[in-house]
Chain A
Amino acid sequence: MAPLLLEVRGLSRRFGAAVALAPLDLAIEAGEFFALLGGSGSGKSTLLRLIAGLEAPDGGSLLLEGRDITRDPPWARPIHMMFQSYALFPHMSVAENIGYGLRRAGVRGAEQARRIDEVLALVRLKGFGARRPHQISGGQKQRVALARSLVMRPKLLLLDEPLAALDAGLREQTGFELRALQRATGAAFVMVTHDQGEALALADRIAVLEGGRLMQVGAPADVYARPASAFVARFLGAANVVEAAHLSLSPAEPGAAAYALRPERIRLTPNGATTGANAIAGHVRDVAFRGDATLFVVALDGGGELRVMVPADDPMPIMGERVALAWDADDLVPLAA
């Protein structure tokens, strides 16, 4: 296990009567790509701003490499942040923007110029140094904002929705670039995102937040395969949450009140017969073509519905057709209440 970089101990934040962040513990390892995933109001951005020092916590502490930085102002923390709006200084050129932190740190002259050139090459913006922020595209602004933080060689870089302001076409490629930059610099990246696909694709580990509480932390594959709660199961990919009382289930791990059942784990047979447990009949209510697969919403005979993902090459039922559904016992992932 990599050495501990940042330790969040019981950190909490209220806004008036509203709890933005309930006391929360979290550990970020050196050199990892960590994603804070959640919807709006989940507390993910508050947590990021607390780590950056832009807001003060109501309780708890922050330890960077074992040193307590809870009371340090943002300008004294060796942590840098890329803002969602990028927050580039409009009255400065790209090079002046990138050199801003270096000048505050007393890095001047040839050394400053060398480091600006180095990071401009890293984000593929060589020759853009003299431009003003309003003269470059959104994707280029994003890379300038990234360069402005990276030039400080932080051990911990915070990214607030780094891909949200980009066009859909640019997002995937920029995501891969982000990942490559993170590996190249060896810095730990902590990214806030509301997009579960982004978090699963980029991060080494993800933390799912909801209502100011930490719901689950783990590697993307683990959290995806074994969601700890109904919320996480739904949030991470629209899994079916089935209640044991409602369906005749025969799970590998009995005893839970509810189970997650992934749409791609369910076998669908048109006009098929159902036998025994872990099988049920119904009819197709909705169809959504997804390219590599097709999503069916099946209304069950006993009430309720299940989402089923059928790979492109399999036989497809039509709307309203009767279908049989079946799954394996160990596809039922027990959920905490």
Chain B
Amino acid sequence: MRRWLVLFPAWVWLLGFVAAPTVILLGIALGSSAEGVPPFRWPIGPGFAWQGGFGNFATLFEDEFYRDSLWRAVRLAASTAALTLLLGFPMAFAIARARSGWRAPLLALVLLPFWTGFLLRMGAFIGLLRDQGLVNAALIGLGFIQEPLQLLYTEGAMLAGMVHAYLPFAVLPLYATLSRLDPMLEQAAADLGAGPVAAFLTVTLPLALPGVVAAFLLVFIPAAGEFVIPELLGPSDALPVGRVLWQEFFQNRDWPMAAALAIALLALLIVPIRLFQRTS
């Protein structure tokens, strides 16, 4: 009984803010677009008559534009997660092995970007990367190039922004795992004939694997739905699903299509979430 009382607020929260919106979203996705406010018809009309259909989901699979946007989101999320892991692992490892007095300040530095607004930081990226930006000015000033490089609105700029924004989400779980790792185990490996590379591959990495999986998914899952960074820094033609969703909803006012996309993205992310639950 007491247990139930403790969990009650959590259940209310989940029901009100997760389950109910998902049902509503599914309802809109099964409905159809219409003139008016709100701009759609529910799948169940007056007198409980069924007037919905799976047409929006069919469009998702048939129309290359939507299929590509989903695929692009997965690719962007996967490369972001992979890059943050490559950068974050050595960082987390170094912090975990730093002297105890250094660990807290180094972790604070990892979190420091959070102290500035997210949009401000993206604005700073634009300032760095645009044609008259700091990077181009420096390259021209140093005589490496004559004409400014197209840096902004490229896949590279988008990826840089993504990695910048999501790096702390990779460093923290990796740090949590690596700091619990007993350094004696690596010494034992060395004592038994393992060089640094062999010791890392046979002892450190396998023991850090839960942290690596957690870090990958903690970046991958939110990155798949990201739309602000691709919007601000990415190329205008290749739209990942987050931006397409935004467009369908606000510009085309096709709520059922946007809802169907959102449901598809959710379904796509359930796979890695399940994977995450299995490993942790």
Contacts and interface: CB of A to CB of B under 8 A. Distances in A.
Interface of A: 52-54, 73-75, 80-81, 83, 85, 87-91, 100-101, 104-105, 148-149, 152
Nearest to A152: B192
B203 interface: yes
Given A87-B184, A89-B203, A91-B207, A100 B190 contact: no
B62 interface: no
A83 B195 contact: no
B208 to A, nearest CB: 10
Interface string B199-216: 100110011000000000
A50 to B, nearest CB: 13
A74 B185 contact: no
A85 B183 CA distance: 11
Given A101-B193, A104-B193, A90 B187 contact: no
6 contacts: A75-B191, A80-B192, A85-B182, A104-B193, A104-B198, A149-B192
A74 B207 contact: no
A101 B192 contact: yes
Contacts of B189: 89, 100
A80 B206 contact: no
Contact of A87 (B187, B193, B194, B206): B187
A75 B206 CA distance: 20
Nearest to B193: A104
A272 to B, nearest CB: 57
Contacts of A73: 190, 195
A73 B189 CA distance: 12
B194 A83 contact: no
Contact of B187 (A54, A100, A105, A149): A54
Nearest to A101: B192
B96 to A, nearest CB: 17
A241 B194 CA distance: 49
A79 to B, nearest CB: 8
Nearest to A76: B193
Given A90-B207, A91-B206, A91-B207, A54 B185 contact: no
A96 to B, nearest CB: 10
Contact of B191 (A81, A90, A91, A105): A81
A75 B207 contact: no
Contacts of B184: 83, 85, 87
A54 B193 contact: no
B192 A54 contact: no
A75 B190 CA distance: 5
A92 B193 CA distance: 17
A101 B198 CA distance: 11
Contacts of A80: 191-192
Interface string B162-203: 000000000000000000001011011111111100110011
Nearest to A80: B191
